[in-house]
A = this chain, B = another copy of it.
């Protein structure tokens, strides 16, 4: 019914050009990408600044355009809607999180510790944006929106995050002791776990989101405990059932097929 309107008109596939518009040695920019990418970046930076200053709803497209010194129509040339301004932000934050977490993980081998570090790192990275994150969360919750963490458009961010959790697991002491199938499944599960934390975080109005931090602090050891326990014989039937359920019903909806 409703046509999938392209995310941007400025370029057909803006996927793999992260640092492409970076300054070339000669000082001259690429003929095609240069100017265009520059405007695009300018818009995004301005938008993010204003979002943080005034919140998502309070920041009007007109204000963004004015602040960036261009026309309203032009911002729509690069970003199909106000929502799409967020996608860039979301991708960026995910990458930053992965980097920050990987760094902090260095030297730790206990699974519970590693998990706690990864989640704590997310809270650190996301903290500055809490106020306006809550405001645009509703957008992400729309099943039809491309901003939903389950949507195709979020694939890149999701892959980055899941990769991080795979790293959390494989770098830990319990990894080798786990059932291989479960080891394959767990990173996705841990990502889902993060999504739940995010849900909690968004609704958390305590100063500095202290409540969420405490929640993570207390829930992480439990998750670790469950993972460890899952190795024991008694749980095998249940674990098998749950695994099947997740593989058949959850993962397919987030764009993963059982291997």
B150, A143: Cβ atoms closer than 8 Å? no
- Chain B residues positioned under 8 Å from A148 (CB to CB): 203
Residues 220-250 of A, flagged 1 when their CB comes within 8 A of B and 0 if not, give 0010011001000010001001100100110
B144, A141: Cβ atoms closer than 8 Å? no
- Chain B residues positioned under 8 Å from A140 (CB to CB): 141
B203, A222: Cβ atoms closer than 8 Å? no
A245, B218: Cβ atoms closer than 8 Å? yes
- Chain B residues positioned under 8 Å from A219 (CB to CB): 245, 249
A238, B218: Cβ atoms closer than 8 Å? no
B203, A143: Cβ atoms closer than 8 Å? yes
Decide if the interface of chain A is mainly helix, strand, loop or mixed.
helix
Nearest chain B CB to A149's CB is how many angstroms away? 11
B215, A238: Cβ atoms closer than 8 Å? no
- Chain B residues positioned under 8 Å from A225 (CB to CB): 238, 241
Nearest chain B CB to A69's CB is how many angstroms away? 31
* Choice from B138, B139, B202, B238 contacting A226 with Cβ under 8 Å: B238
- Asked if A105 is an interface residue, CB under 8 A from chain B, the answer is no
List A134-176 residues whose CB lies under 8 Å from chain B: 134-135, 137-145, 148, 150
B211, A249: Cβ atoms closer than 8 Å? yes
- Asked if A33 is an interface residue, CB under 8 A from chain B, the answer is no
- Chain B residues positioned under 8 Å from A234 (CB to CB): 234
Nearest chain B CB to A240's CB is how many angstroms away? 11
In the bound complex, how far is the Cα of B241 from the Cα of A143, in angstroms?
34
In the bound complex, how far is the Cα of B238 from the Cα of A245, in angstroms?
22
Nearest chain B CB to A158's CB is how many angstroms away? 14
- Asked if A71 is an interface residue, CB under 8 A from chain B, the answer is no
A222, B202: Cβ atoms closer than 8 Å? no
- Chain B residues positioned under 8 Å from A245 (CB to CB): 215, 218-219, 222
With A134-B143, A138-B138, A218-B245 known, 18 other A-B pairs at CB within 8 A are: A134-B144, A135-B142, A135-B144, A137-B141, A137-B142, A138-B139, A138-B142, A141-B141, A141-B142, A203-B253, A218-B249, A219-B245, A222-B238, A222-B241, A222-B245, A225-B241, A229-B238, A234-B234
